[in-house]
């Protein structure tokens, strides 16, 4: 048996389950809202070309329009000024689109404090219990925020002082950028905290991780269905030439 035959047998027999970490993509999909004076992204839209009618009697198809950073999506290094000489989304090596994945769960902390920031000490406590972060793999940050994804107001959780959603501290972003991981994935609308526009530097996860050639995954669903360690992740962004990111289908392979 080849390893592929073994894998396919395990998939067919349910010994490996495929979990979809992707949120549905529609005109209802929540998009990030940056404060003035910054420009904002467009949401996702379908534009019907024909639907079994005079415009095309036997076929249905649409044009689509969307920002690169809409819904469940991949952040490439060139998204940030610190990574401007790094890969665009079409240049990410295919081998890096498949890798190990681990989960750090701070959903209880984030339920108590929507501005919760992941700290280096949290990750050191995690590695003491679970072993090292996966080389060439993803660290997914569970916050419980996916439960709010259907409700734009709850998901963005903004008031007069701006959005209040969990993220990571400046020190944690700087530290993670030096680890041998591929990148970080989150359940929130961006990899940075809602309040991260006011941090020094602003948006430290974007700044340090993309600056170090690492990647981001945003608006993930179903992280709660993954084990802490031992799963595999497939991240499939579109190869938009020159693109800073792309909506992506994100799948996890989980042993059962
Ligand atoms: C642009 C500016 C700030 C942020 C973002 C985009 C994202 O979160 C994103 O989708 O990359 S925080
Ligand atoms: Mn993004």
Task: Calculate how far, in angstroms, residue 190's C-alpha sits from the geometric centre of ligand 1.
Answer: 6
Task: Calculate how far, in angstroms, residue 60's C-alpha sits from the geometric centre of ligand 1.
Answer: 34
Beta strand 138-142 with 158-159 is unpaired
203 Cβ closer than 6 Å to some ligand 1 atom: yes
Q: List, by residue number, the catalytic residues.
A: 79
**Cα atoms in the 13 Å half-sphere on the side-chain side of 48:** 9
Nearest protein CA to atom 7 of ligand 1, as residue: 190
- Domains, the chain: 8-24+68-255 (3.50.30.50)
- Tens digits of per-residue pLDDT, 92-124? 999 999 999 999 999 999 999 999 999 999 999
- Tens digits of per-residue pLDDT, 162-188? 999 999 999 999 999 999 999 999 999
Radius of gyration of the chain (CA): 19
3-class secondary structure per residue, 179-235 = CCCCEEEECCCCCCCCCHHHCCCCCHHHHHHHHCCCEEEECCCCHHHCCCCCEEEEE
Whole-structure pTM value: 0.97
Could you tell me the pLDDT band of residue 35, with boundaries at 50, 70 and 90?
confident
Cβ-Cβ contacts under 8 Å for 154 (sequence gap 6 or more):
148
218 Cβ closer than 6 Å to some ligand 1 atom: yes
**Terminal Cα distance for the chain, rounded:** 21
Beta strand 183-186 with 215-218 is parallel
Q: Which atom of ligand 1 has the smallest separation from the CA of 75?
A: 11
């Amino acid at each position: 048996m080849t390893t592929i035959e073994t894998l396919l047998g395990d998939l067919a027999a349910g010994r490996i389950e495929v979990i979809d970490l992707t949120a549905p993509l529609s005109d209802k999909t929540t998009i990030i809202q940056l404060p003035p004076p910054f420009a904002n992204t467009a949401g996702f839209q379908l534009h019907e070309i024909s639907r079994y009618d005079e415009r095309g009697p036997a076929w249905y198809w649409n044009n689509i329009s969307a920002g690169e950073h809409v819904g469940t999506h991949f952040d490439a290094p060139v998204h940030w000024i610190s990574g401007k000489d790094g890969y665009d989304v079409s240049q990410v090596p295919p081998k890096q689109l498949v890798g190990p994945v681990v989960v750090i769960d701070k959903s209880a902390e984030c339920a108590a404090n929507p501005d919760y920031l992941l700290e280096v000490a949290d990750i050191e406590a995690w590695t003491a219990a679970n072993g090292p972060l996966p080389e060439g793999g993803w660290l997914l940050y569970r916050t419980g925020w996916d439960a709010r994804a259907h409700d734009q107001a709850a998901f963005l959780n903004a008031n007069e002082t701006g959005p209040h959603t969990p993220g990571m501290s400046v020190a944690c972003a700087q530290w993670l950028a030096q680890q041998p991981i591929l990148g970080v994935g989150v359940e929130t609308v961006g990899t940075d905290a809602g309040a991260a526009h006011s941090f020094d530097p602003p948006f430290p996860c974007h700044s340090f991780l993309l600056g170090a050639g690492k990647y981001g995954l945003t608006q993930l669903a179903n992280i709660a269905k993954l084990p802490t360690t031992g799963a595999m992740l497939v991240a499939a962004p579109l190869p938009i030439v020159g693109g800073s990111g792309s909506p992506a289908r994100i799948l996890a392979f989980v042993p059962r």
